[in-house]
Amino acid sequence: MIELRHLRTLVALKESGSLAGAAKKRFVTQSALSHQIKELETRINSAIFVRKSKPLSFTQEGARLLNLAEDILPKVIETEFDLKKGLEDGDNHLGVGIECHSCFRWLMPVMEEFRKQYPQAELDLSSRHLFDSLNALEQGDLDVVLSSDPVPGQSIAYQHLFDFEVRLVVASDHPLAQQEYVTPKQLENLPILSYPVALERLDIYRHFLEPAGIQPGPQVKCDLTMMLLQRIACKDGVAALPSWSISEAHGLSLTSVKLGPEGLKRPLFGAYRRNGANARLAQHWLELVAKEGLAKQKLN
C-alpha cells in the first residue's frame, strides 16, 4: 500500500516545506507530485498535510508516515550500499568535476574528512571540464559532478545536496550597497564581473536579468576568486556570487545584496553514474559535501 517513493516524497516535503520545493527535490513536476500525494491520501483515506499551511504542517496521519519514512529510508539506503560492491572490490578512484569556481575553498575540509575515512581512495578534484562536466561524467572521464543544472538521463543519478543563495556582491560604498534588494533594472548597463564563463551561463543573467529583458554592461572575466573580489572592491563592476564567497574577502570592503525581494536561490546537485563501479564511494563523498554545505549555509 505504501511505497518507497511515497516515503521519499514525505521527507522531501518536510525538508523543503512546500510542494514546489519537494517537487524539485524529487525531480518531478509539481502536478505529478500532487497526483502522487493524492494517490497516497486515497490509499490511507486521510489527508497528509494541512492545505495552505505556512510553513507546511502535517496531519497526525502524515506525521506518522513521516516518522516511518525517517526510520525506514536510512535502513533501505544502508542495505542498498551493502548489496552493492564494497569499496575493497570496486574502483577506489574518484574524479570529481565542479561547475562552481567558488566551491573549491569550502570543499577542502570535505576532502580532508573523506581521505580520513577512506585512506585507500584516490580523490581528484577538477574544474578542467567546466560546463561539459556532465557529458564527461556520462563518458566515464569523471565519476562525480557538482552542478546546479542537472540534465535527466537514464545512466546518471542525481542527489539534491542543498540550496544556496546567489547574491550581488558590491563595494561597501557602491550606490547599491545600502539597498535591501536590487531589481534587474538597477543593473542595466552595469559591468558584470565573473569567472571565465559565457554570460549566457551566468545565474544572474539566466535567472534574473534575461527574464526581465534587461541587458547588463560589459562582462569582465577573472580566473581567481581573490582577483574577482579585489576588482569588486575597486568598483570595476558588480558580481553575483554564492553567499559563501564573500567570506573570502579577507579585509576587503565588500557587502552583498539580495537579487530581487525573495532573493535568487539555486540548487546544488551531486551526479554520479548509477551503475558505476565506484557509485558507493561517490555517494559517501556526496553525503560529506551535503553536510559541509548545509553547515556553510548556517554560518552565512
Q: Are residues 150 and 262 in the same domain?
A: yes
Is the pLDDT at 236 greater than 60, yes or no? yes
Is the pLDDT at 299 greater than 60, yes or no? no
Residue 173 makes CB contacts below 8 A (sequence gap 6+) with 235, 253
Q: Are residues 181 and 44 in the same domain?
A: no
Is the pLDDT at 86 greater than 60, yes or no? no
Higher pLDDT, 87 or 194: 194
Higher pLDDT, 106 or 71: 71
SS3 content of the chain, % helix, strand, coil (to 5): 45, 20, 30
Residue 72 makes CB contacts below 8 A (sequence gap 6+) with 4, 7
Q: Which of 29-33, 225-229, 258-262 has the lowest mean pLDDT?
A: 225-229
Neighbours of 216 (CB within 10 A): 22
Question: What is the average pLDDT across 247-264?
Answer: 87
- Residue 248: per-residue pLDDT: 64
CA separation for the pair 205, 9 (Å, rounded): 32
pLDDT one-digit tens code per residue, 134-152 = 888 888 888 999 888 888 7
Give the percent of the chain with pLDDT over 70.
90
pLDDT one-digit tens code per residue, 129-138 = 666 788 888 8
Q: Are residues 235 and 155 in the same domain?
A: yes
Q: Are residues 171 and 53 in the same domain?
A: no
Q: Which domain holds residue 76?
A: 4-85
DSSP conformation letters of 66-122:
HHHHHHHHHHHHHHHHHHSPPTTTS--EEEEEES-GGGHHHHHHHHHHHHHH-TT-E
Is the pLDDT at 259 greater than 90, yes or no? yes
Q: Are residues 105 and 170 in the same domain?
A: yes
C-alpha triplet 240, 241, 247: angle, nearest 5°: 135
Task: Give the residue among 114, 135, 161 at the shortest CA–CA distance from 281.
Answer: 114
Q: Are residues 107 and 30 in the same domain?
A: no
Number of domains in the chain: 2
Sign of torsion over alpha carbons 109, 79, 28, 32? negative
Q: Which of 58-67, 97-106, 186-195, 202-211 has the lowest mean pLDDT?
A: 97-106
User: For position 132, which CATH number holds?
Assistant: 3.40.190.290
85 — pLDDT class (breaks 50, 70, 90): very low
- Residue 147: per-residue pLDDT: 87
